């Protein structure tokens, strides 16, 4: 079973970052960060360091921006 931090980051990359891509495949980190109430450096860490273990507070901010509770998010990733 994959570590939780990998599952969380991969879900966010696969499902939410896809809406924040330039045609050349690079990500719109600033826009994602602004829309999800986090710092840009955290958005970059999620993508570039899939082993990045974000804090619960960061995950909660991202979920709130998506109108999700943490409980709903963990159901989505089946954890």
Mind listing the pLDDT tens digit for each residue in 3-22? 999 999 999 999 999 999 99
Cβ–Cβ < 8 Å for 72, 22? no
Local structure of 26: helix, strand or coil: coil
In a domain, 17, yes or no: yes
pTM across the whole model: 0.92
The pLDDT value given to residue 72: 98
In a domain, 77, yes or no: no
In a domain, 39, yes or no: yes
Q: Please identify which residue in the block is written with the tokens 């619960």.
A: 56
Question: Is 50's pLDDT higher than 80?
Answer: no
Count of the separate structural domains present in the chain: 1
52: left (phi over 0), alpha (psi -120 to 50) or beta: beta
Reference 29, options 49, 45, 5; nearest CA is: 45
In a domain, 73, yes or no: no
Give the domain extent around 36. 4-68
């Amino acid at each position: 079973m994959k570590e939780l931090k990998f599952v969380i980051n991969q879900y966010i990359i696969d499902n939410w970052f896809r809406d924040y891509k330039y045609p050349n495949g690079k990500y719109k980190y600033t826009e994602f960060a602004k829309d999800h109430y986090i710092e840009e450096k955290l958005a970059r860490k999620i993508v570039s360091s899939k082993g990045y273990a974000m804090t619960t507070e960061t995950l909660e901010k991202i979920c709130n921006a998506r109108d999700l509770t943490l409980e709903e998010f963990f159901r989505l990733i089946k954890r």
